[in-house]
Every structure is written in structure tokens, then in C-alpha cells.
Amino acid sequence: MSQDKNDTTESGAREGLLSALSALGLAIDMANGSPETTALRGTWVAVVAAEELGLSSQERAEAVLGALFRYLGCTSYAHEEARSLGDEHVAARVLAPLDKLDRGPIAKAVLQDLPGDAFERAMRAAKLMAEGAAFTAGYERSHCEGAMLLASRLGAGPGVLSVLAALHERWDGEGGPAKLSGSAIPVAARVVHLAREATVHFLLRGEEPGVVRCLERRAKGQLDPEMCRALASSPRFLGAFREGPLWENVQGAIDRALDAGCERVPTKDDVIEVMGDFADQKCPIFLGHSRRVAALAQGAALRLRLDPLRSRCLVRAAWLHDVGRVGVPNRVLGTRGPLGPIEWEKVRLHPYVGERIAQHLDPGVARIVGAHHERLDGSGYPKGERPDLMASVLAAADVLAASGEDRPHRPRFDVAARHALLTEDARAGRLPQEAVEAVLAADGADVDVPRPSRSPELSSREREVISLVARGLSNKEIAQALGISARTVQSHTIHAYDKLEVRTRAGAALRASELGLLS
């Protein structure tokens, strides 16, 4: 694992970048409700498939990064999935091995495996059968756009972005969002799709014959039939599912692919910031939260005169502090009333999950992430231990940022109220006075928060509308909130989407967060 102090050397920076990408893979698995190493295993399978099929070095790089970044958009539609299917994690697990055109097995999975009583599941199944095409199209657009926007921040080149744009295309033309078919689908995208299907079926059955059956069944429909035939009889490809140690195998391929597939090789901090937005994107009530906490932490570090190493460690922990929340279902995160014991346990453990993810990139950062809900009087969680100053600063920044955001059970606090709330934490002995004063002094201060170099000019009304669109409100709800007609809302949304260069709510949410439109 890379140490913060080594980031200044070229080799240390590269090692840190690769460790951060490993952490990103684990966060993706948590967000999908998948077994650990699923994302990295799928990437390794794509590596072997691309080599066995004789792809060019450029195509191999695009396949490797396409597989690695494939699920960057998986949190983009989580809000809609949770609303329609009850639990986005369960839905992802039970629907992953199914062909979207096989409506019978999909209905059966919804009826048998999704949460809720029999009536709720029946209603969801009926709605999915009636509106399934529109729901799937929305998922495909959002997933692809979310992945492309985040991957572009990691320096992905046009070839990699073309793979991500085609994640849900099918050989038979029944995919989306562009309805490409056959050889019109980029060859690297075809490899990524095949690797994904093969990996899912191997993890489901734990045997290579299941992979062969999958390739035989999906050939000519979802997958390139020639690729399927070649790989179904390739001992090396079929052996790739059990090759280990996994990270040692895949990191070299990722390292080479970064140079060939990226216009700009990303930094460790690029990956960390993407992980923060990736986590916040999952549930609209948290959009922009990690950015705000990072800004407060950075300002507090200046006021505490922390040395550059500790300051950087604190800010990185701030970006990552809620990454463990990707493992908590949206139905829990969006609960208006008191949580039951099972739901509360999921929330209580999110700092621990975040610490495990962050451990892949730096133990010091991980320790702060794991302690950001701890309190001096032992009333915090998950361990009930006393936090040190760094974790206390992060805790104070988290409290102040969260109190200024709307939640299902309460509206946001005004400035005076949220300052009073944090001051009371210091008075009651929950947080140290030093940390609280530093964070309060940072509130509203001018700090260097990452922003796109080119910002579109949105009107004040368009900014209002896009902020509410990003948070998942319907046109009717936005119209009621702003006192305008739903048609006017639609017009403003279209114009704002054009200026932001997006086509989905998820894309608008990411862009609005980057531009600071959600504060």
C-alpha cells in the first residue's frame, strides 16, 4: 500500500495511483452489492480475452480501461432503481445474470427475490413489465453517461470513452443507448461486454462450464459470436477466472493501459475525488456533500497550520469519508422516520466499510475515515473510541456540511443554527474546541475547491431548475416548488442540459455538483 509521503516521487505517485484504482474497484463492488474483487476480476478477464483475440495494443488498452471503468456509472441510476425495485443492491445481484429481453425470468426474479411483501413485489413486477423498456433505456443512458463523465475526469481518451458509451449495446441491435449492432460496436466494447457476462456467470456458478454455456447462449444476441466461439475453446481464457493473486496479475495491465488509453494519466487525487462524487451520486440527498466536507477540511487545516503532509491526508479523508455509504441501500438512506435495528446497523458500519476501502490507498487516510463518526465522550460509532484531532476536524466538517443540507427527516439549517449545533458539540465535550473553531472559521472562506476549467453560463432560473432535477424531483414537483408551469420546467431543463452537455438526470447531477450549483 502506498504511503502519503511517497506521492512526491514518480514511482511513488504511480504506485499510489494504482492503489487508488484498486480502492475504486472495491468501492464499485460495494455499490453493486457484488462479491469483493468482481470489478478487478472482470478487468483481468478482459485483459486475457483481448490478448487471446489478438487485439492491437491500443484496442487492448481501451478494453482494459473500459472494463475497469465500466461500473463508474453504477451509482448514477441507483435512485431510480431503489424507487422502482425497492433495493438497488438486491436488484443488481438478481438481475445481473439475466438477459434484458427475457421478460419471464426478470418478472420471476422481481416476484421472488426483491424486498417487500407479496403485494409490493407483484406491483413492482407489473410496473416493470409495463414500463420496462423505458426503465431500461433510462438505466442505459444514465449508466453510460455517468461512467463517461467520471472517466473523463480520470483522463480517459476518446477510445475508452467510446467503449463506455457502448456498454449496453448488443450484437443484435437490441441494446442501447444508440442501438448499435454488429461490428458498429467498438471491438474493445465487445470484449468488455463479453468479459462482464462471463465473469457474472462464473461468480454465480463457480465453474468454467457455466462460462462456456453463457457464451454459447449469448452468442448472436448480446455478444459477438466469433469472439464467443474463440474464447469458449481457449484454455487460457477459461483459466483466467481462477488465476491469482488477482491484483498482482491485473495491475501491470492497468499500468500499461493508462499510458496508451488516457489523454492524461490521472493522479491519486483525481481518483480520490471521483470516488467522493461516485459515493454522493448514489442518493440525491448527498449530492455535493463530500466536496463541501473537503472544502471545510482544507480551510480548517490552514487555520490549524497543519503541515502539508497532514493537510493532504485530512483532505483526502474528507473526500472519502462517506465512500462506505455505497454499501447502504437507498431505502435506508432515505428513511424519514427512526431506523430499525437492522437498518441502523447498516448505517453504523459505513465508516468501517469506508476504512476498509481507503486502506487500499493509505492507512493514515483510512484511519481518519473510519473515525469520522467517533466522539470524545464515547457516544460515536462504530467503535465508541476517542478520535484524534484529525478525525475530530473531519467529524466537525461533516456535521457542519450535513446540517446545511436537506434531509428526509428535516430541512437544512440556516448558518446561525448550524454554527450553534457544532458549537454545542464542543461545549458538551463531544468534539474538541480546537477542531470546532477551525471548521467554523473555514465556513464561507475562499478555499480551492476543484472546478471545471470551462463553466457553462446558466441563467439563475436554469440553476434553480437543474439543482432540483439533480435531486430527483419530477417536473411537476419542481413546478410547484418554483411557482412555474411544468412545461416551463421542461424548457429550462432542456436548455440547461444542452449547456451542461448532458442528457440524463445523473449527468446533470454530476455536472451541477462539479460546478457548485448544489450548495
* The pLDDT of residue 454: 63
* The pLDDT of residue 290: 98
**N-to-C CA span, the chain:** 35
- Contact present, 387 and 376 (Cβ < 8 Å): yes
* The pLDDT of residue 1: 37
- Contact present, 382 and 355 (Cβ < 8 Å): no
pTM of the model: 0.94
- Axis-axis angle for helices 208-218, 225-232 (nearest 10): 160
| 492 phi-psi bin (left φ>0, alpha ψ -120 to 50, beta other) | alpha
Distance CA 179, CA 170 (A): 8
* The pLDDT of residue 327: 96
* The pLDDT of residue 416: 97
* The pLDDT of residue 370: 99
CA dihedral 402, 408, 410, 411 (to 10 degrees): 70
* The pLDDT of residue 451: 60
Q: Which domains does the chain have, with CATH numbers?
A: 4-261 (1.10.3210.10), 283-442 (1.10.3210.10), 460-514 (1.10.10.10)
Distance CA 13, CA 271 (A): 12
Q: Tens-digit pLDDT profile for the chain (519 aa)?
A: 344 546 768 788 899 999 999 999 999 999 999 999 999 999 999 999 999 999 999 999 999 999 999 999 999 999 999 999 999 999 999 999 999 999 889 989 989 998 889 999 999 999 888 988 999 999 999 999 999 999 999 999 999 999 999 999 999 999 999 999 999 999 999 999 999 999 999 998 778 888 999 999 999 899 999 999 999 999 999 999 988 778 888 999 999 999 999 999 999 999 999 999 999 999 999 999 999 999 999 999 999 999 999 999 999 999 999 999 999 999 999 998 899 999 999 999 999 999 999 999 999 999 999 999 999 999 999 999 999 999 999 999 999 999 999 999 899 999 999 999 999 999 999 999 999 999 999 997 655 555 655 678 899 999 999 999 999 999 999 999 999 999 999 999 999 999 999 999 999 999 999 998 886
- Contact present, 267 and 413 (Cβ < 8 Å): no
* The pLDDT of residue 6: 62
Helix (H, G, I), strand (E, B) or coil at 262: strand
Distance CA 171, CA 190 (A): 8
Length in residues, the chain: 519
* The pLDDT of residue 78: 96
- Sequence-ordered list of residues with C-beta below 8 angstroms from that of 355, at least 6 positions apart, any chain: 324, 366, 367, 369, 370
